[in-house]
Amino acid sequence: MNEATTLYDKLWNSHIVDEQEDGTCLIYIDRHLVHEVTSPQAFEGLRKNGRGVHRTDLTLAVADHNVPTTNRSGVIKDKESRIQIEALEKNCFDFGVELYSMNDIRQGICHVVGPEQGFTLPGTTLVCGDSHTATHGAFGSMSFGIGTSEVEHVLATQTLIQQKCRNMRVTVNGNLSRGITAKDLILAVIGKIGTAGGTGAAIEFSGDAFKSLTMEGRMTVCNMTIEAGARVGLFAPDETTFEYLKGRPKSPKGGAWELAVNYWQTLKTDPGAKFDEEVAMDASEISPQVTWGTSPEDVTTIDGQVPNPADIEDENRRNKMERSLEYMGLEAGMLMKEIKINTAFIGSCTNSRIEDIRAAADVVKGRKVANGVQALVVPGSGLIKELAEQEGLDQIFIEAGFEWREAGCSMCLAMNADKLKPGARAASTSNRNFEGRQGPGGRTHLVSPAMAAAAAITGHLTDVRDLD
Amino acid sequence: MEKFDKLTSVAAPLPLINVDTDMIIPARFLKTIKRTGLGADLFSTLRFNEDGTDRENFVLNKPAYKDAEILIAGENFGCGSSREHAPWALLDYGIKCIIAPSFADIFYNNSSKNGILLIQLPQEEVDKLMEDAERGANSTISIDLEAQEITGPDGGVIKFDVDAFKKHCLLNGLDDIGLTLQKVDKIKEFEARKKIAQPW
C-alpha cells in the first residue's frame, strides 16, 4: 500500500539519484540560476580541477546584484562591481552558459527572470546561490538557496548532496480584507512563527487565502519563506500556475505542454498525509504589516506601536530588542504611523513584479511624493519595465516625483550605488531589515508596495487604507 | 579543504541571538571574486567604528580573544543570506569552530564544506560554555571531533552530535565533488530515465 505523501515528499522522492545509509541523498537538480556574486569562486574551482559544466542547457545566468539602475550607456564606475560582472561574462562565455547581461532586455533579478522566462517549472528542483531562491516554490518547484561550494557542485555534477527537510504546513483560510496583500500575509506568518520557526523545514502554503493569490503574490510569499528560516516554500501548482506559464519562452510547447500539465496536476499533497508541524491563521485577522526592528520577525500592524523591551521576560530576546530599537532610533510606545521616513524603495525579488508596480501606481496616481523623501521604483526585469511603460505607469511615478530606474537588486542589499545613508529611514518592499542591509547605518521598515507608496506620499508610515 | 580533527583554543563569547550573515560580512564586501581576504572585514559593523578604528568592547578586539579560533554564540546563528562569504570570512579570520544552540540551514551547510565545525548544543550547555568563555585567556577549550567531545577549561567533558557524513568529510578534508563524480553513471542513468518520462 502506498503511503499518503506531501507535495514536498513527492518532489524529493522523484529526484533521488542515490541514497546513503544515513539517509543523505544525492538529489538531481533540474534548473540552476547563476549570478555574479556567488559564482566566480565556483567557476574558479572548476578551472582549477579541469572540470566543465555538466548541463549548460539547464543553467541560466543573469547579472543582477551589482548592476547600476541608472544610466547604463557607459562602463560601471565601481571597479569591483565591474570586475564581478566582467568575470560572469567571461565565465559564461568560457563554459557555454546562457547569460542575460546588463543590456539585455531580459535581464533582471534572477528570481524574477526565471519564472518570467518559463525557466522555472512545476515539479522541478531549482537552485541558485542566493537564499531567496525559495521564490520559485510558488510554482510547485523544490527550490532553495545554496552556497558557492554547492554552486560549483551543481555546475560540475547537476546534483547536490542533501538531507531531507521536515514537512511543515501553514494554512490561512478566509478572505483577505481590502488592502491586504501577499506581503502582509507572509510578514504576519513570520511574526507568528519567528525567524527560526521554519529552520530545517519545507513549508507548504495552503488554504483559500493563499490559493486566491496570483502567481506574483505566491512568489512574494515563497520568497520570504527563508526569513522564517525555511529553505523551501511550496504552493501546489494549479490553473493559476499553468495560465501564468503558458506561452513563456522556455515553457514546454505543443504536445509536450499537454503532457507536462497532466503531470503537474498530480503534484499535490495526498489527503491524510502527515506534516511534522502545522500552523493555522485566519485571513480576516491580518492587517497591513510593518516591521519596527532589525529582523523580519520584528513585525506589527500599521495600527500598532513600537514594543517595550521591559515587557520581554527572556534576557536574550530583551537584549536583542533593546539593541534593535537603539539601532532603529525608536522609543517604546511610539505609534508606527508617526514614524517619519525619508526614503521609499519599491523593488527587490520580493516585490518588483508588474502587479507590485501596478499596486504602487494605483496609490501614487495624482499625488506627489512628500518633501524631503527620495522615492525609487526599480522594476524586477527589463521586460517588466517595458510593460509598465506601455501601461503608462512610469509617467505616474515620474510625475509624482519618483525615480524610475533600470532593473536589478538595487537598494535591497545595497551592493550597487543605491544605498541608504547612515541614519536614513526607508519604507521598503524588500525582504530584510537587518542592521546595515540597505547601507551602513540605514534603517529599514518592511512593507507591501502599496504601503511603501503611501509612505512616500505622506512622508511617514501610513495605513494605505486611510488614503482612499 | 583542510582536515578538522582536534582543536584547542581560547573561546570567544558572542552572546547575541540571530547573528545574521549581513552582520558576519556586509554585502558591500561581497564584490571579491576570490575566497580569501574576507577576514579583514569579518563582523565589520560590530568590530570597527565608522572611522575604521577598533571598537574596544567587541569581543574579538579584546587582547584575550584576538587569537580565538572558537566562537560561542546565541541561537539561530548565520541566518539570512546564502553567501558563502560568511564562512570564508570566519575561516580567513581564523575561526574554525562555532558552538551555539542552533544554526541557520544554509550557513550550516556552507560551513561544513569549508572545514568549519559547527556544534549544536542545548541552551544550558551553551550558557555554561558562554560563562566559561567570559574568563578570557583562561577560557581555553579543546574539541575532539573523532570522539565528539568538548573539554572545558575546568576539565568537564560535553558530548556533541554531528552528522555522520559531515563528520567523515571534515575528518578527511574530502571534496564533495570528487565523491559525487564517482557516481556519474547513476547520474547519467537518472538523466536517461527523466528524458523519457518528462520530455519537456
Q: How far is CA A112 from CA A47, A214, B35, B120, in A?
A: 30, 14, 28, 36
Q: What is the DSSP letter of B39?
A: G
Mean pLDDT for the stretch of residues B8-12: 97
Which residues pair with residue A25 across a beta bridge? A19, A162
Q: Do A414 and B28 touch (CB under 8 A)?
A: yes
Nearest CA in chain B to A118: B200
**Residue A1: what pLDDT?**
46
Distance from CA of A395 to the nearest CA of B (A): 32
Contact assessment for residue A100 and residue A106, using Cβ atoms and an 8 Å cutoff: yes
**Residue A2: what pLDDT?**
64
Query: Quick check: A263 contacting B, CB < 8 Å?
Result: yes
**Residue B168: what pLDDT?**
92
Strands A299-301 and A289-291: antiparallel
pLDDT, tens only, B32-51: 999 999 999 999 999 999 89
**Residue B23: what pLDDT?**
96
| Rounded mean pLDDT for each run of 10 residues along chain A, 468 residues in total | 88 97 95 98 95 98 96 90 96 98 96 98 98 98 98 98 97 94 98 96 98 98 97 97 98 97 98 97 95 98 98 94 97 98 98 98 98 98 98 98 98 96 97 97 98 98 94
Nearest to A37 among B30, B74, B190 (CB): B30
Spatial neighbors of A433 by CB under 8 A, at least 6 apart, are A291, A293, A294, A295, A296, A298, A444, A445, A446
Nearest to B83 among A26, A38, A133 (CB): A38
Q: Do A196 and B50 touch (CB under 8 A)?
A: no
Q: What is the DSSP letter of A194?
A: -
Query: Quick check: A198 contacting B, CB < 8 Å?
Result: no
Contact assessment for residue B103 and residue A195, using Cβ atoms and an 8 Å cutoff: no
**Residue A74: what pLDDT?**
86
Query: Quick check: A250 contacting B, CB < 8 Å?
Result: no
Q: Give the CA-trace dihedral at B103, B107, B110, B111, to 10 degrees.
A: -50
Helix, strand, coil share (%) of chain B residues, nearest 5: 40, 20, 40
Query: Quick check: A242 contacting B, CB < 8 Å?
Result: no
Q: Do B109 and A18 touch (CB under 8 A)?
A: no
Mean pLDDT for the stretch of residues B11-32: 96
Q: Do A434 and B113 touch (CB under 8 A)?
A: no
Measure the CA–CA gap between B152 and A409, rounded to whole angstroms.
Answer: 45
Q: For a pLDDT cut of 90, what percent of chain B falls above it? A: 91
Contact assessment for residue B60 and residue B85, using Cβ atoms and an 8 Å cutoff: no
Contact assessment for residue B36 and residue B43, using Cβ atoms and an 8 Å cutoff: no
Nearest CA in chain A to B1: A149
Measure the CA–CA gap between B92 and B6, rounded to whole angstroms.
Answer: 19
Query: Quick check: A312 contacting B, CB < 8 Å?
Result: no
Contacts of A10 in chain B (CB under 8 A): none
Distance from CA of B14 to the nearest CA of A (A): 12
Q: Do A157 and B187 touch (CB under 8 A)?
A: yes
pLDDT confidence band for B178 (50 / 70 / 90): confident
> What cell numbers appear for A244 in the block?
501564468
Helix, strand, coil share (%) of chain A residues, nearest 5: 40, 20, 45
Mean pLDDT for the stretch of residues B152-174: 93
Q: Do A434 and B80 touch (CB under 8 A)?
A: yes
Distance from CA of A300 to the nearest CA of B (A): 19
Q: What ipTM, to 2 d.p.?
A: 0.93
Q: Do A131 and B102 touch (CB under 8 A)?
A: no
> What cell numbers appear for A96 in the block?
557555454
Contacts of A65 in chain B (CB under 8 A): 27, 30
> What cell numbers appear for B64 in the block?
584575550
**Residue B37: what pLDDT?**
95
**Residue B138: what pLDDT?**
85
Q: pTM here?
A: 0.95
Contacts of B45 in chain A (CB under 8 A): 435-436, 440
Q: How many CB atoms lie within 10 A of CB A233?
A: 30
Measure the CA–CA gap between A248 and B7, rounded to whole angstroms.
Answer: 54
